[in-house]
Amino acid sequence: MKKKTLTQYLVEQQRENQLVSADLRLLLEVVSRACKSIGHAVSKGALGGVLGNQGSENVQGEAQKKLDVISNDILLEANAWGGLLAAMASEEMDTIHKIPSHYPKGEYLLLFDPLDGSSNIDVNVSIGTIFSILKAPEGIKDREATEEDFLQAGRKQVAAGYALYGPQTLLVLTIGNGVVAFTLDRELGSWVLTQDNIRIPEDTKEFSINMSNLRHWDEPIKRYIEDCLAGETGPRGKNFNMRWVASMVAEVHRILQRGGIFMYPWDKREPNKPGKLRLMYEANPMSMLVEQAGGAAVDTVNPILDIQPTHIHQRVSVILGSKNEVETVKTYFK
């Protein structure tokens, strides 16, 4: 079977299905090339001098790793000059990154978590890049972009995806017509289509949550996990397995491949914050992928993609994965 590259796939979606514009196709190719560069830096590890802490904190007050900063810079530099974007926003930056005045501006907005799973960088466990693309408001080319331009509900995303840097380097993508996966062919330097129309099983016996936070959880999550742990003699009537990688990219990828449910709920450690994960950089793009693959994603009750953001660094509780299991968790909150 002839290999289909990312470029071929996107050209087909543009020509035959009119699902992407020429500019969106080019933007996705630029982002994918940036992910290849990040993957190359990740693979060098200690040999490239990229491991360890940067000695600074991001806007969230979290210690930055060297690869966090390197990945952020790669994405900014790759996307600044092409005339496809009006502005960018990153989990690692205080505010939006405007396109320099000497470059042309485009009609799209790019948001990204440049390197998800930072705690795994130095121990050689899978990490990744998450990205989300929005259409900028009308007239954006005639004025400077603002943070308010980014404050769009997740339903308005025109594309979303992630790169996973693990045993294989993968690119998982949706343009609103299902979910596809590409594997990086290192010999050719090309992203090659390896999975089409990915579907998440509706039922599962596997959950993913950081059990060390149990004492901080809200009662509905505690009851749900207790019922899962009770196994086939408990109210759920089946035995569950637990997984936890501490990298959202790896967790969601596992769910896309074999089902499961991922949970990062509100807890009492920071009661004034609705959750730990970022709505714009993590929850929205992952929720779009999960819904496009037949799964569900909620903030305990409401669909994440329906949330109207009020700040670019807004946080949210996240429960996503196999559709029927997400519906079961919702009943504990109701």
Q: Could you tell me if 32 and 189 are in contact, meaning their C-beta atoms sit under 8 angstroms apart?
A: no
Q: Which residues contact 141 (CB under 8 A, 6 or more apart)?
A: 86, 105, 106, 107
The C-alpha atoms of residue 189 and residue 187 are separated, in whole angstroms, by: 6
pLDDT of residue 145: 94
Q: The pTM is what?
A: 0.95
Range 6-195: architecture per CATH? 2-Layer Sandwich (3.30)
Fold type of domain 206-333: D-Maltodextrin-Binding Protein; domain 2 (3.40.190)
Q: Binding-site residues for Mg(2+), please?
A: 91, 113, 115-116, 282
pLDDT of residue 45: 86
Kindly list the domain boundaries of the chain, sorted by start residue. Answer: 6-195, 206-333
Q: Binding-site residues for substrate, please?
A: 116-119, 210, 276
pLDDT of residue 119: 83
Q: Could you tell me if 282 and 149 are in contact, meaning their C-beta atoms sit under 8 angstroms apart?
A: no
Q: Binding-site residues, please?
A: 91, 113, 115-119, 210, 276, 282
Q: Could you tell me if 155 and 305 are in contact, meaning their C-beta atoms sit under 8 angstroms apart?
A: yes
DSSP string, 149-210: GG---GGGEEEEEEEEESSSEEEEEESSS-EEEEEEETTTTEEEEEE-S----S--SEEE--
Q: Residue 189's closest CA among 3, 49, 2?
A: 3
DSSP string, 273-327: SS-SEEIIIIIHHHHHHHHHTT-EEESSSSBGGG---SSTT-EE-EEEESHHHHH
In a 3-state reduction of DSSP, which class is residue 248?
helix
Q: What are the mean pLDDT values of the chain's consecutive 10-residue runs (334 residues total)? A: 89 90 97 97 88 71 82 96 96 94 94 92 92 95 93 98 96 97 94 97 97 95 97 96 96 98 95 94 98 98 97 97 98 92
